Structure 1
Amino acid sequence: MATMSTFIIIIFLSLMMGKSGGAIRPVVTFTPNWGNVLQGDDVTLTCNVTSTVPEEPRTYHWYKDERTINGQILQILQINPSAERDSGDYQCRINTGDISDPVTLNVTDRYVLLQRPPSAIYEGDPLTLRCHHNKDFSGFQTRFYKNNEEIKSQFPDSEFSIQKVDLNIAGHYKCSKQISSRNSSEYREFSHDVSVSVKELFSPPEIKVTPSRVIEGDNITMTCDTRLDLLRGGTELHFAFYRNGRTVRGYNVSDTYRVRSSQLEDSGKYTCEVKTTSDTVRKMSDGFLIQMYDYTVQNIIRLVISGFVLAASLCFIYFHNKW
């Protein structure tokens, strides 16, 4: 029976691999890694894939705006030189496998262009913006602007880099250069505005506690709740917990912290912190106050309050009947 089950599983996997070409969905990348280029620039697109069967023969299929690009069967698609008509969405497929997600190429006929990577930008990612000029001209004295305010001027090269971006980096960027050629005078040319948005890698954490009302001796479970962006689902997160600002559990892959047989000294303001393994992004939760209740003291307080209420009621009845 076990042998038959194993045989069926092997046949199923073989059929699935044959159907998909033994490969996961391919990804199209640019070289150089810019999604917007100037007319006349050379662009190379590569169809990248990780295959479970490396030795299988591969045929590559390329598409532009969902139409087949005839005559293109190699892994690399070269556009030399580029023209405005080459702008569009590009995809690739290997054999009969899945087609890639589209990547957009924009070809512009301008003197100066601010280039940015084509892929989405997330918190903690490095970011490089490039002020690119037409190769038929000389360009110098690069300046960068965010929301029309200059952020870098007279920089010796044409790139503006940030090692770790955060949400505050988002905005509208542009650049300018002094442009000159043999037959023209020198003048400053501006690029178009480029919108740079930064996606949240994971949401700000929220500390959740069970039970919501804690009595001395209870087992407490705290969860550091956050949501990781689906497109970065492979990112490993680490969690830490604090009481009154002091560490009660250091960074760990578990998002849960437990206190067994809690005592009065476990009362306090608890927070949790989430970070990436590379420590490029950290986020702290708001505080959650845990006030421990002594069961014995609590019962005494209840008895005193009940006695007071009873005495007040008897007094009211006595005086009411007397009048």
Structure 2
Amino acid sequence: MAVTMFVRSLLMLILLTVENAGSAVSPVVTFNPDLNKIFTGQSLQMTCDVDSTVQGDVNYNWFKDDNWIHSEKTFSIESALSSDSGNYQCQTSASDRSDSTRLEVYDALFSLPTITQSPQLVTEGDRLTLTCHTRLSAHRQNTVLQFAFYQEGQNIQEFSSANTYEIPFAKLSDSRNYTCDVQTSNHRIKKTSTTTTIQVNRIGERELFNKSETEVTSKPGTSHVTTAVAVTSLVLVLFLIVIALIFLYWTKRIPLPGNNQPASKVEFKEPKDETENIYMDLDTNTGKWQIFSQKPHKEAVKDLMAAPPMEISAPLNVIKQ
């Protein structure tokens, strides 16, 4: 009886030892950081943990979706991609594969940053503000981000919570290329913006720039409409000028009512010798003008034309030669 009890106890001890030994060598996949949901660009380290009782050299193998991917105790993802999502397992030379552990990698913790400037047109002496814009994922709205600014690749503002960089008085030398970096507070994800070129204009160039910008940003078809209006206006102006010139021309030729026109001059033609002439002469005895008819007398006609006008105060007598 005693022998039977001893044998049973020994068998139970052997079974327990075998079970404990099997469970001790079963590996477990752990994540660092302890997250199974990360974003693209983040880093992650997986470890194949085995029981400390395992002695000697141990070989490790990693599997993703049942495909072999790695052969060390740890497997690292430096900058996660969406394609890194999957089921991970590890196995040692003294154990079976571990349980499957799922990793999810989302498209972005935050969007690629961009730089905007204010004002859009910068002149010497203006206050220039650069802003680094990004958008957090809806899954991590509470994530703390830090921002840094660079001019021609040289750091001009260290990482901080401020996403703006200000130049109180812009100078021509501030016309440079600018970028900004955005990173998480744990420095695990960092993204760099595209390059933005800032142009600082001299004082007095603002009006010229505005004019050029207006012409460049005109809506399609606006230039054609403007040209048509300009041509129509020019034709109308020319037509009005022609009408005005015609009006002025005719007002010079045709006297208008009420205008004082100069008296027309009486032209005397020198008579020919063979024609009979009628002329006037003053009788010194009577003081009256008399009309004479005779052959031409040039000298008398010339004297008559040169004499000043006189009022005829007596009736005229016609005396035939």
Structures share fold, TM-score greater than 0.5: no
Normalising by structure 2, report the TM-score: 0.45
- Greater share of helix: 2
Higher strand share: 1
Bigger Rg, structure 1 or 2: 2
> What is the TM-score of this pair, normalised by structure 1?
0.45
